[in-house]
Amino acid sequence: MLRYVLKRFLTAIPTLFLIVTISFFLMRVAPGGPFNQEKGLNPVIKANLERQFHLDEPLVMQYLYYLNDLLHGNLGPSYNLPEFTVNELFAKGLPISIQLGATALFLALVFGSLMGIAAALRQNKSADYAVIATATAGSTIPSFVIAPLIQLAFGLGLKWLPVGGWGDGAFINKVGPVLTLMLPQLAIVARLMRGSMIESLRSHHIRTVRALGLSDYAVIIRHALRGALLPIISYAGPAAAALITGSIIVETIFAIPGVGRYFVEAALNRDYTLVMGTVVVIAIFTILFNLIVDLLYAVVDPRVSYD
């Protein structure tokens, strides 16, 4: 197992390098620049700024400068927020995005799995139809529709929740964003669990354990559920990376100071280092969670071994 983990980490290095390289050159060849957005900027001041950040040098040299900073853990300064570095922005915004994303994913996995199991055990009955209808609605209604509806209903209407803002991390300020992030994921998890549980219950080894006289609880929890969890684990890896690194729409609508809002502002203002920092963080989370998913396969399914 340890050898497999080390091997995956070694293969992750060229993967991350390739992502950084492609993203860097795609950002730089796009029209515009971080200081072209400023109207009426003095050409001398603009030239000094470009010289300060090495933007006046050849593209290859800029790339080598960035790689050198990245190897030292330095994501560089923010071009459009000069009072902050990218590291400082992420140190402030990433914990907020992690709180919202992790909470939403945990609730979606728990309640979505319970809904899927209930639908699979009552296939073609009213409970099954209710779960399918709920999951279909949740997966088709986009976040930019769910968020304003929550603000209108629970914020402006019932006045149970604040319309937006972080409020220094108060619980009530997290409810709206977490619900918005959770509902689409809950719908997807419920549909995945329903399908995989039905397939698992119809498998040959489940028929065998039923023939041996095991209780329904033992059949479902100890045997069928383990096989049904594999698609959920596969989906949870990329979903965790996407949610934990922040949702652009949700953080913008609810005015949450997470990394998602920084990415939008950086892309609009051609803030190269902030965009690249976001890409690096998302890539690291994606690689890490995919590794965790592979390791969980061996825990859940005894047929999988990495020794």
Tens digits of per-residue pLDDT, 180-237?
A: 999 889 999 999 999 998 888 888 878 887 888 878 778 888 778 887 888 898 888 8
What structural domains does the chain harbor?
93-300 (1.10.3720.10)
Instruction: Name the amino acid, one letter, at 303.
Output: R
Question: H or E stretch including 213?
Answer: none
Partners of 77 in the beta sheet? 85
Give the CA distances from residue 304 to residues 50, 134, 286, 294, 300, in Å, rounded to whole numbers and listed in that order. Answer: 53, 34, 22, 9, 9
256: CB partners within 8 A, 6+ apart: 96, 97, 100, 164, 165, 166, 177, 250
Mean pLDDT (the chain) is 84
**Better-scored residue on pLDDT, 188 or 82:** 188
The model's pLDDT over 169-178, given as tens digits with 9 standing for 90+, comes to 788 999 999 9
Instruction: Name the amino acid, one letter, at 220.
Output: I
* pTM of the predicted protein model: 0.83
Buried b (16+ CB within 10 A) or exposed e, 138-152: bbeeebeebbeebbe
CA of residue 230 relative to chain centroid, distance: 19
3-state secondary structure of 77: strand
Distance CA 163, CA 148 (A): 9
pLDDT given for residue 93 in this prediction: 86
Kindly tell me if the per-residue pLDDT of 38 is higher than 60: no
Tell which residue, 229, 218, 200, 241, has the closest CA to residue 299.
Answer: 229
